[in-house]
Amino acid sequence: MFLVLQMKHLIAIIIILWSTSAQTQNYDINILRNINLNRNRDLDPTFHFFSNSVNTVAIATPLIVYSAGLIGKNKDIKRKGIVMVESIIVSTVVSKSMKFIINRERPFVTYPYLEKRSDGGSPSFPSGHTEAAFATATSLSLAFPKWYVIVPSYIYAGSVGYSRMHLGVHYPSDVVVGALVGTASSYFTYRGNKWLQGRKKNSIKDQVLGD
């Protein structure tokens, strides 16, 4: 219930801010035009790689964590892998819901002069690739809060977000909100699981004391 309420509030705030900002579209297209049309085209393959790797990374990361816990017979590591999966699922559901509620056209549809260099079929807002990358980075960083995990995770996620603008398939606001959705979804899922674990421990303690 805590997680659902928090995510409902987040979605409502994002939709209100996006729909009431008259300057958003102007800022978006001006920034995107500069990034997309003035880009270093030699880097197109690199940013294609970042964009295309998201689904593989989002699936493989929690799977590797869970497998490491399974092999090492470590229940805590296995639980972290499960929480990561839950985080990515929550983030994806929130992102997909927002896409079809807002139903924003892709920038290359509205502005045909942009150079589209990647796939982009679903509604534009928010960026699903960026959401998944930041959900993965955040859930991994919360599970293993070490600088050598956090820094590479967010560098990767930020590169994915930038790649979506470089390749002409998302506005900057799509990317920013995608990052916010991915980060917030993973954080609230993590906190929700910690809260449930605390209640479970207290319940067990009460039972032991009662006996």
Using alpha carbons only, give the angle 70, 75, 76 rounded to the nearest 5 degrees.
Answer: 115
Quickly list DSSP for 130-182.
HHHHHHHHHHHHHHS--HHHHHHHHHHHHHHHHHHHHTTSS-HHHHHHHHHHH
- Model pLDDT, residue 197: 74
Answer for the pair 167, 48: CB distance below 8 angstroms, yes or no: yes
**Residues contacting residue 103 through CB under 8 Å, at least 6 positions apart:** 123
Cα 61 from chain centroid (whole Å): 14
- Model pLDDT, residue 3: 47
Residue 72 in 3-state DSSP? coil
Which carries the bigger pLDDT value, residue 133 or residue 16? 133
Within 22-146, residue ranges assigned H as helices are 24-37, 44-71, 75-102, 107-110, 128-143
Using alpha carbons only, give the angle 4, 126, 161 rounded to the nearest 5 degrees.
Answer: 115
% of the chain beyond a pLDDT of 90: 64
Q: How confident is the model at residue 69 (pLDDT cuts 50, 70, 90)?
A: very high
**CA distance linking residue 26 with residue 106, whole number of Å:** 15
Reported as a single tens digit per residue, the pLDDT across 27-66 is 889 999 999 999 999 999 999 999 999 999 999 999 999 9
Tokens of 135: 């959900």
Angle, helices 44-71/75-102, rounded to nearest 10 degrees? 140
Tokens of 202: 């207290």
Reported as a single tens digit per residue, the pLDDT across 101-129 is 888 899 999 899 999 988 777 888 999 99
Give the lowest-confidence range in 26-30, 45-49, 138-142, 149-153.
26-30
Reported as a single tens digit per residue, the pLDDT across 5-22 is 455 555 555 555 555 455
